[in-house]
Amino acid sequence: MSQEIEIKFRLKDLHHLARKLRAEGFRMVTPCTHEMNTLYDLPGGELRARKQLLRLRKYGSVWTLTHKSGTVRARHSSRVELETVVADGRTMDAILRGLGYAPSFRYEKFRAEWSDGKGQVVVDETPIGNFCEIEGPPRWIDSTAKKLGVGAEDYITKNYATLFAEWKHETNNPATEMTFKKSKKPLAKTARRVGHPRTSSRLRGTS
């Protein structure tokens, strides 16, 4: 069991951020890689009502199952996280459905992972815009954000489901899931060139 502590912020210039990360001693652990996430819930939204999350993720060729609970949103977002690698994602989907769970939301992105050995910074290209997540100890998060030119007023502690709902409201978009096809946003040129990640350097999953 681990504690996930993180913040997001909106990203305008991917290349500028990459230069800053390298200048601050970060190295790219995993290059920009396709990621598909499916959230599951019980009838009536029982998990959502308890502020819990059950997610099946495919990152490149790697499947993981994650449970998150105990969400606290203050300056940073904090959650208890349990995660395990899954050998066969389609079989896990069948197991979850057999237990009474059903997909409740899907979201897609292209993610690159960076680290300085103390925490991680991930860069997400999504159908609703580009975001960066900083995950690690609270003081390290604030210190890293400051190095990247990000102030506390720029911190976002909402998850992607909430950000997607806000985006739908702002754009009057009828999409029901945060995927490039449903949201009708073309894939980034950089993202289309990406292959599978180096699984040996896979970092712990984030939102």
- Tally Cβ neighbours within 10 Å of residue 25: 11
Count up the domains in the chain and report the number. 1
Helices (H) and strands (E) in the chain, counts: 7, 8
**Residue type for 134, please?**
I
Cα(48)–Cα(41) distance, integer angstroms: 7
Listed residue (187, 7, 1) closest to 82, CA to CA: 1
In a domain, 90, yes or no: yes
- Top pLDDT among 67 and 183 is at 67
Token output for 205: 């999953």
- 179, 108 contact by CB (below 8 A): yes
CATH classification at residue 43: 2.40.320.10
**Residue type for 151, please?**
G
- Please give the backbone phi and psi of residue 200, each rounded to the nearest 5 degrees, phi first: -70, -20
In a domain, 205, yes or no: no
In a domain, 17, yes or no: yes
In a domain, 37, yes or no: yes
In a domain, 201, yes or no: no
pTM of the entire predicted model:
0.86
- Top pLDDT among 207 and 103 is at 103
Cα(40)–Cα(47) distance, integer angstroms: 8
How does pLDDT run across 81-113, given as a tens digit for each residue? 999 999 999 999 999 999 999 999 999 999 999
- Please give the backbone phi and psi of residue 72, each rounded to the nearest 5 degrees, phi first: -130, 120
Domain that holds residue 72: 2-195
- DSSP reduced 3-state for 34: strand
